[in-house]
Amino acid sequence: NLPKQVIIKEVGPRDGLQNEKEEIKTEDKIEWINQLSETGLSYIEMTSFVHPKWIPQLKDALEVSKSVNRKEGITYAALCPNMKGLERALEADVDEVSIFMSASESHNKKNINKSIDETYPVLKEVVDGAKQAGKSVRGYVSTVFGCPYDGHVDKQQVIDVCKNLFDMGIDELSLGDTIGVANPKQVSQFLDLIEGEFSKDQIALHFHDTRGMALANTLVSIEKGYYIFDGSLGGLGGCPYAKGASGNVATDDLVHMLHEMGIDTGLNMDRLLDAGMYIQDKINKPLPSKQMNICSRE
């Protein structure tokens, strides 16, 4: 009972780049996003409007998001933690605003410097402001399957955070396995637990591949009827506030698996790999995905 089509949302320019220590030139980021726009993607998270002290790599968020050639049919999004971020995101006229918080107290505190309860009013203001400006809003919940500091995360706590974000009026929610600790059985059991709570049209899954489980976790999610997944081209990335966390599931490996299974993604593998080669050259080290590895050897 597999779907005919799966939607892949590319978060590489944000989640992928945010952890890169060596500064990537603004013009190179813009060129990379322009190349990604030619791969068949319908969604690209370009950057994030956070504090440059926290994420120095994305301090050029305004310039990047203003300069990208926006292609019709593609949603260009950016992360916003608060009103200060939203102001800049609206100045850049992004299509969609993404808010984010964690299901575990310690990760939330480390990541956005607030308790979970302190975070809600800040995010609510962002959602209201974005909606008033006519923007759609995506929410992220981090540490859904485990926290680098607290370890186990209570499932009811995760569900409460998800519900609170939907109550604010977000359009879609992305469930994050921030440090790649989930296994397919755990994902399957969690998805059974939330069956019927939220619409599958509004839930995305955001698997980091720290322990090589991301494709397996994606597959069980597909079997449960989910069809929106976040990926980062080449597997670029990691969370700066989650030690040892590596990048998201590689968009190219995901595309390979899905296409081999006869599931359409709308993505062109050759163009993806060309864009992968481009950013691999800019970060000056091999990207971890299997497809990029094959491509680099040829």
Catalytic residues: 239
Contact between 226 and 239 under an 8 Å Cβ cutoff? The reply is no
Q: Does 110 bind ligand HMG (CB under 6 A)?
A: no
Q: Does 45 bind ligand HMG (CB under 6 A)?
A: no
Using the contact rule CB under 6 A, the part of the chain among 30-38, 46-54, 193-201, 273-281 near ligand HMG is 46-54
Using the contact rule CB under 6 A, the part of the chain among 33-41, 44-52, 131-139, 212-220 near ligand HMG is 44-52
Contact between 119 and 81 under an 8 Å Cβ cutoff? The reply is no
Contact between 263 and 3 under an 8 Å Cβ cutoff? The reply is yes
Q: Does 85 bind ligand HMG (CB under 6 A)?
A: yes
Q: Does 97 bind ligand HMG (CB under 6 A)?
A: no
Q: Which of 40, 51, 56, 282 binds ligand HMG (CB under 6 A)?
A: 51
The single residue listed with the structure tokens 């494709």 is 215
Q: Does 84 bind ligand HMG (CB under 6 A)?
A: yes
Q: Does 138 bind ligand HMG (CB under 6 A)?
A: no
Angle at 182 between CA 180 and CA 185, to 5 degrees: 155
User: What residues contact residue 30 under an 8 Å CB cut-off, 6+ apart?
Assistant: 64, 67, 68
Q: Which lies closer to Mg ion via its Cβ, residue 14 or residue 295?
A: 14
Q: Least distance to ligand HMG from the beta carbon of 57, Å?
A: 10
Q: Does 203 bind ligand HMG (CB under 6 A)?
A: no
Q: Which lies closer to ligand HMG via its Cβ, residue 30 or residue 55?
A: 55
Q: Does 111 bind ligand HMG (CB under 6 A)?
A: yes
Q: Which lies closer to Mg ion via its Cβ, residue 15 or residue 60?
A: 15
Q: Does 267 bind ligand HMG (CB under 6 A)?
A: no
Q: Does 140 bind ligand HMG (CB under 6 A)?
A: yes
DSSP letters, 57-106, are GGTTHHHHHHHS-PPTT-EEEEE-SSHHHHHHHHHTT-SEEEEEEESSHH
3-state helix, strand, coil in the chain (%, to 5): 45, 15, 40
Q: Which of 10, 15, 20, 96 binds ligand HMG (CB under 6 A)?
A: 15
Q: Which of 35, 47, 65, 142 binds ligand HMG (CB under 6 A)?
A: 142
Crossing angle of helices 290-297 and 251-260, in 10° steps, is 90
Q: How far apart are CA 190 and CA 215, in angstroms?
A: 17
What single DSSP character describes residue 250?
Answer: B
Q: Least distance to ligand HMG from the beta carbon of 69, Å?
A: 25
User: What residues contact residue 108 under an 8 Å CB cut-off, 6+ apart?
Assistant: 101, 102, 114, 115, 116, 119, 142
Site size toward ligand HMG (CB under 6 A) is 25
Q: Least distance to Mg ion from the beta carbon of 270, Å?
A: 27
The secondary structure of 253-267, three-state, reads HHHHHHHHCCCECCC
